[in-house]
Structure 1
């Protein structure tokens, strides 16, 4: 989609932004991991592993296909929220709706505000807001994961480095929104951070569909 942030955003009626953000939050709240696992008769991911609805915990059901679908749909709803915001409320709408979908994934109303850790949705938002930056952040995730084999470290690194990437490419209007998402990602990974510091964090198991990693996206 490319950069969607522009100077026209300040003329958008606040009501339009709020309505678009509410729709984006509801979209973000859709628990695709749970829906896919049940549709494929894989059981309830909330009953296994960490009980999370994200990609990694869906992988624990034993289906790589289900995990990939979850990843695509969770990132897709972030990108879709940006598109909704852009259509109805311009550049501000894009950023606000991207943030709203991200918050919806972390704190879904349908599941008593217990959701995933937001990394896939975060990446989807970045790819839609500024594709080169989103692609760079995805590359950071892959590089860190390949070298250190910690999904949590890859997620934290890519989130933290997203802000300098935005600044370097002049997307300064997006920085407050992305910085807030980064803080929320760090908060959602607080248990993982403790295990990384303690040396007890599980590594990514590339050979098993039922990875026992304790990281959820």
Structure 2
């Protein structure tokens, strides 16, 4: 493993992660410019605001898949560390895509795609956390925040020690990308799942 290899894995992961599948799906389904709809975000949640559930589902799968594929391909070619570097870079690419002036999504689907590919037991634990918090609170953002915060703990407990520093960085980025959501949660004005 060399620095050059890790840099190449990071570059490839970033470029793959920067593909704005939400915008692609919005165009394919004739939904207009996603950046002018709802929150202006490019993720699956905003695609869902168009009312097209299939487009939102495909966006979710593709956004998760691009990080998962980055992890698996780089991991198979160059080892686990390169896979994690590529996955982290794909996450950054989704949040800050060069093609869109570095204005991307919040990275939740991409985060889950990464951890499921890197270590599926950690992915299952984090996914279960998201589902439980979502069921109890009906806040998607709160569910993502808690799941991402606990993911490094799950990795440490389940033996994915190499993942821990990457998951800490990912959690910090997710909290940063959800700054406005956190403010609305504190004020009690955050929209709930299923609310109009």
- Does residue 150 of the first structure (1) align with residue 139 of the second (2)? yes
CA positional deviation for 1:83: 1.3
In the other structure, the counterpart of 2:175 is 186
- Secondary structure at the residue paired with 1:116? coil
Query: Pairwise mapping of residues 135-146 of structure 1 onto structure 2 (< 5 A)?
Result: 135-146=124-135
Normalised to the residue count of structure 2, the TM-score between the two structures is: 0.97
- Secondary structure at the residue paired with 1:172? coil
- Secondary structure at the residue paired with 2:169? helix
Asked if structure 2 preserves the Cα contact closer than 8 Å seen for 1:33 and 1:58, the reply is yes
In the other structure, the counterpart of 1:3 is none
Query: Pairwise mapping of residues 1-217 of structure 1 onto structure 2 (< 5 A)?
Result: 12-205=1-194, 212=196
Normalised to the residue count of structure 1, the TM-score between the two structures is: 0.88
Unaligned runs of 5+ in 2: none
Greater than 2 Å deviation, 4+ residue runs? none
Asked if structure 2 preserves the Cα contact closer than 8 Å seen for 1:25 and 1:104, the reply is yes
Distance 1:55 1:79 in 2: 16
Distance 1:145 1:67 in 2: 18
Distance 1:99 1:186 in 2: 15
Number of aligned residue pairs: give it: 196
Distance 1:14 1:164 in 2: 28
What is the root-mean-square deviation in Å for CA atoms of aligned residues?
Answer: 0.9
Distance 2:34 2:128 in 1: 28
Unaligned runs of 5+ in 1: 1-11, 206-210, 213-217
Q: Which moved more, 1:22-31 or 1:36-45?
A: 36-45
Tell which has more relative contact order, 1 or 2 (C-alpha 8 A, sep 6+): 1
| Deviation per residue, 1:96-140 (Å, 9 max, x gap) | 011000000000011010000001000000001100110111111
- Secondary structure at the residue paired with 1:71? helix
